[in-house]
Structure 1
């Protein structure tokens, strides 16, 4: 297929979208393009001040967006915050057409959250599972509207290849996993293993969600994707002092958003839905090859069940 550009995005007038991690980088560019094409976009982030500043800047550059970009308080590190965000959204809107699970962090020291989950796994995966599953009833209702085109997009990474080969998702212990082979918990390769572990979960989640939607004959499409090697704050942390050199090979956040935008809006996806349902995409909207672990349907089902168990335990006792 030809390269996808923002000019290929159809009118999104009347549609409502949520983009997590949308106050900077890929997420901000994604939210901007959705709004420029007519959607009402909720920026699901933790920081009100940073998001307000980002919205103000975009509205200053594009006055037509006034009132079309809205902050939705969402702390992906917390199951309870993601549940609250979904409840707040449902109190404001009667439909949700596009959900882009974009927020992520990488290369952070190992720590367990107050809810007993590895911080990287919580932010990159479990928070998105909770937000999405909490919004599923609304997504399903929207999908049954006449002429609807509901898309759920998980921004993963080619780093899913770096998930530990021992990953099985047979126990909640993996939600606490250091992904380190020894006592040393931090450093580049431990960071990459934890990041890859969480990004593997993003892909498995998308595939299992699509299976469940299909089983219930709900006409919605879910995909996962690698956005490319993008010049972001996370990338700067990842390569450290080599960033000035590595940056020569990175693309911009604008280009990094294109595959998310393709997945969320392209008429091609709807036209060839059987091809794209549960698919893993690479820039810019091409079908990609995920790791062997990411193709494991049984593991995807186990991950879903474990995620529901984790949420239940956190709801009942505050932690897993």
Structure 2
């Protein structure tokens, strides 16, 4: 199959509405740009209004046709807190009557262990729990859109090959949502930092899979996909390399091994827009994709990602954690 080319292969998306979270830089920005250039009404999320306005300015400078079109909108949301994700979803529901594409791109990379004010591991909150809350909050509108004739609704969740970094995982207690994965007492050592990130990226795969199972059971024709975009030159990746103490390797890595950000968006843009995905929906539903737009073979998924019990377990415990946070403010 020829490689998907977002510039020429994304169909006309005029009349559709999309959200790209974490859209001010890196893969999020490139994804937002391509969707907007192909006609969607785009909502981008950033952590501040200043970042949102700057992102819109850059998108309009790159494509003057977007100026004064009313097709670039924004939501300010910091996904480190669950309450913020819920509020952002509610704000969107007040403003729009349809949603065709949701790209869960926002998240944190590798970093030191922190417990949020809501009682969760920061990376797990930002990369899984808040995107879960945001998606579930938007699900009634996504489902209503999917029931309209001629629609093609998709939910794309960005995961990573880093899900291989974790060798143990269970999601049957609240403590699993703030596990520091300390190794030999080194809470912020490289192994622990990578394991926490891997736990969050594993959760992305499991969430997308369980979401698809539930959608199918309800007869809702939405496609849910998770994916690894590839090793991409982004600010987040560079920051992760620096935090792990390997900043001296960055020039070599970025030159020899990593793909540019537009190239890095191919798989998520394919998942979000390619007619092939809808045409062969049974092959893509609930799957974990790898570059470029391929369903990952079993060998490229960890045993944990293939565990049939974990998706439901994660979903149920996430619901409990979220209910506690929204009810009491913390867990």
Distance 1:131 1:24 in 2: 20
In the TM superposition, what are the counterparts of 1:69-148 in structure 2 within 5 Å?
Answer: 69-148=72-151
Q: CA deviation at 1:51?
A: 2.0
The alignment yields a C-alpha RMSD, in angstroms, of: 1.0
The separation in 2 between residues aligned to 1:230 and 1:17, in whole angstroms, is 23
Q: For the residues of structure 2 that align with 1:94 and 1:106, how far apart are their CA atoms? A: 33
In structure 2, the residue matched to 1:26 is 27
In structure 1, how many angstroms separate the alpha carbons of the residues matched to 2:117 and 2:248? 32
1:180 alignment partner, SS class: coil
The superposition leaves residues 47-87 of structure 1 with CA deviations (integer Å, 9 ceiling, x where unpaired) of: 21122112101112211112322111121111111111011
Give 1:255's aligned residue: 263
| Structure 1 equivalent of residue 244 of structure 2 | none
Equivalents in 2 of 1:117, 1:295: separation in Å? 25
Contact 1:208/1:297, CA 8 A, preserved across alignment: no
How many residues get paired?
319
Q: How far does residue 238 in structure 1 lie from its aligned partner after superposition?
A: 2.4
Cα distance in 1, alignment partners of residues 258 and 223 from structure 2: 29
What is the distance in 2 between the residues matched to 1:70 and 1:256?
A: 24
In structure 2, C-alpha distance between the alignment counterparts of 1:104 and 1:78, rounded to whole Å: 12
Distance 2:192 2:254 in 1: 22
Answering whether residue 300 of structure 2 is matched by residue 293 of structure 1, we say: no
The partner residue of 1:180 within 179, 182, 190 is 182
Q: Gaps spanning 5+ residues in structure 2: where?
A: 242-246
Counterpart Cα distance in 2 of 1:252 and 1:103? 18
Q: Distance in 2 between matches of 1:283 and 1:138?
A: 30
Query: What TM-score do the two structures reach when normalised by structure 2?
Result: 0.94
1:107 to partner: Cα distance: 2.0
Separation (CA, whole Å) in 2 of partners of 1:212 and 1:189:
34
SS at match of 1:153: strand
Query: In 1, distance between residues paired with 2:294 and 2:172?
Result: 32
Question: Does the 8 Å contact 2:22/2:105 carry over to 1?
Answer: yes
Contact 1:11 1:37 in 2 (8 A): yes
Look up the match of 1:2.
2
